[in-house]
Structure 1
Amino acid sequence: MAKRALLVGIDDYHNVAPLAGCAADARAMAAILKKNDNDSPNFDCRLLTCSAGEPITRAVLRRSWSELFRDFDGDVLFYFSGHGYPTELGGYLVTQEGTPDDPGLAMNDVVHLANLSRARSVLIILDCCHSGAVGNYADLQSSNQSPLKEGVTILAASRPGQAAFELDGHGVFTRLLLGALRGGAADVRGRVSAASIYAYAEAALGGLDQRPMYKSHAARLEPVRICEAKVEDALLRELLVFFPEPDAEYRLDETYEETNSAAKPEHVAVFRKFKILQIAGLLKPKEGFDLFWTAERSGFVQLTTLGIFYRQLASAGRL
């Protein structure tokens, strides 16, 4: 499935205070989103920064949005780092020529385009002040209608009334995004989703810091990026072989421990696989913590709750 992204970073403003790390934010996000950890292609990225050509005016950003969504039924990502501004009509993304009286484009304009698009999924990421205002529609608050169509997800750096900060050359939120996308938010299979990115960022920020927000009407968690897997799918599927039932136990003995004179190569190979599963949190000794001593004492190993979950995925053919 095709994937495309538009990444915007604005440092130099004509009529409001400049910023320092927004262009760097957008460049770093584009660099990491272009490829997965195994160098396979991920998003086809278009980068807009104030140092890379024409000014990023409201007309330029509106046109870029149209091009992002036009006649596309794959996965779409929009990222913005710059000034955000609150008004009585909602939050605005401040474009390069913006003023306090006429800041730029409404945050909800990109949500509206996402809702009208044919895209299978849309992820909107805003690292700017007051970004939590995106996706809030006053006329829908008292109804049962969702402001987001199915497949649309929003990650915002701060609550509607909060500032978003820069630190050491990057936005605080974007620095966490980058860590999440590099593997900090990856699951056992190496998949990083929007939900896991949010959980990673939210856990890192204290109660007195800016608070990120997550809004979604997604029926599935598509990976935003794929990192190195802790456990390959082939080994996860072998859980069904080693543990025919979720609560099954597997007995080890001295033939599984490679330093033992009685070791058997085929058993040592199983032991090494179990070590990988243990490190990933999918397997544990029934008693104690060490697989070596479990083998030396002819003890049993069993799946953890997480291991049972991945065994269930394998049983359902989802790996």
Structure 2
Amino acid sequence: MKKALVVGINDYPGSARLRGCVNDATRIAELLSTHADGSPNFDVMLSCDVKARSALRSLILDAFKHDDESSLFYFSGHGCITDTDGYIVTPDFSRHDEGISMDEILKIVNLSPARHKIVILDCCHSGAMGVPLPAGTAAFLERGVIILASSRDTEVSMEVGNQGVFTSFLADALKGGAADIAGEVTPGSIYSYIDKALGAWSQRPVFKANILRSTCLRKVTPLVPLEELRKLTTYFPRAESEFALDPSYEYTTETPDLDHIHTFKILRRMQLIGLVEPVDEEYMYWAAINRKSCRLTSLGIYYWKLLTSGRL
């Protein structure tokens, strides 16, 4: 089972009130609940009315206490940092009791029996999670822990147009902006997408992980159907193989072969997404007309290796 606790808090007292966190949390909850094709993904608990530190702590404990395939916690709200630790702030905050410390959250996550433990924080100073501070707070990440934070420990996280800048890009990434050719969106690909989208002068996202293998957070429509992608190992028995072409692969010639034409359409689609390239010709058409060949690109070899090792 995959579970996700998604929390958004707008209702802070006085001038601390926020506007976009509930919208952000609602949008992320919707995206995580299903894959792009509508099939079930995470079993999501959305909470946007948390009032107290004790209530939020109880929700986090419950989210990570079971032996699930994946347990995920997303938070959008206020964050702060003190001399001793970073905190996600709850509406009942007071001086010297700001909310739940990031060190405490990390301890809960580290003790979780879940296989994959993902924490995504969109709040100021969220990068403090997993950073040892002068007071000696823990920074060790157990196997399977992934942290994605909206900003470094010294930075604020921006809210523009009633939405968090980080979560806006996070949503776009989950919709497919960070998907690989097979249509999988992973925490690492999300970080890379957001890091590039924010640019050098904006808040800097933070990614920390201790994993043997990444996990898919959402699946979208692949750039090429998986049954076609798996033909890479048929067309190219070895990574360095070349696939011989001739005019029968091109339907506009006088000697077209229907099976060859079907294969050539697949190869051309693979070329369009960077998996295959013609040899000694600029275009696949001329490679066929001039009896040349095509081969795997570096990206194609990467996916060929995934297929031959049974990881795709």
| Shared fold (TM-score, shorter chain, > 0.5) | yes
C-alpha distance in 1 between matches for 2:193 and 2:118: 17
Query: Do residues 23 (structure 1) and 16 (structure 2) align?
Result: no
Structure-2 separation of matches of 1:147 and 1:270: 51
- Partners in 1 of 2:254 and 2:161 — Cα distance? 55
CA distance in 2, matches of 1:139, 1:151: 26
Counterpart in the other structure of 1:58:
53
- In the alignment, does 2:167 pair up with 1:174? yes
In structure 2, distance between residues paired with 1:139 and 1:119: 30
CA-CA distance at 1:139 after TM superposition: 7.8
Match of 1:228 in 2: 221
What is the distance in 1 between the residues matched to 2:136 and 2:224? Answer: 43
Q: For the structure 1 residues 141 and 63, does the alpha-carbon distance in structure 2 shift closer, same or farther, using more than 3 Å as the test?
A: closer
Matched, 1:132 2:127: yes
Instruction: List runs of 5+ in structure 2 lacking aligned partners.
Output: none
Counterpart residue type for residue 11 of structure 1: N
Alignment size in residue pairs: 312
Q: CA deviation at 1:256?
A: 1.0
Q: Report the Cα distance in structure 2 between the residues aligned to 1:289 and 1:212, rounded to whole angstroms.
A: 39
Residue identity matched to 2:91: Q
Unpaired runs of at least 5, structure 1: none
- For residues 131 and 256 of structure 1, what CA distance do their matches in structure 2 show? 55
Please report how far the alpha carbon of residue 141 of structure 1 lies from its aligned counterpart in structure 2 after TM superposition: 7.7
Distance between the aligned counterparts of 1:229 and 1:33, measured in 2? 17
The within-5 A match list for 1:256-295 is: 256-295=249-288
Post-superposition Cα deviations, 1:225-274, rounded to whole Å, max 9, x if no partner, equal 11111233332332222112211111222211123332111001101110
Is it true that 1:111 corresponds to 2:106 in the alignment? yes
Report percent identity of matched pairs.
40
Q: CA RMSD in A?
A: 1.9
- Mapped to 2, the partners of 1:193 and 1:101 lie a distance apart of 37
Q: CA deviation at 1:288?
A: 3.4
Q: TM-score, normalised on structure 2?
A: 0.95
Alpha-carbon distance in structure 2 between the residues aligned to 1:240 and 1:281: 16
| Counterpart contact for 2:173–2:179, Cα < 8 Å | yes
Report the counterpart of residue 82 of structure 2 in structure 1: 87
In 2, Cα distance between equivalents of 1:278 and 1:295: 14
Q: Do structure 1's residue 303 and structure 2's residue 307 form an aligned pair?
A: no
Taking structure 1 as the reference length, what is the TM-score of the superposition?
Answer: 0.93
User: In the alignment, residue 112 of structure 1 is paired with which amino acid?
Assistant: K
| Conserved 8 A contact 1:91-1:106 | yes
Per-residue deviation at 1:286? 1.1
**Aligned mate of 1:102, from 97, 100, 109:** 97
Aligned residue in 1 for 2:3: 4
- Provide the secondary structure at the position in 1 that maps to 2:182: coil
Kindly indicate whether residue 243 of structure 2 is the aligned counterpart of residue 244 of structure 1.
no
The one-letter amino acid of 2:89's match is V
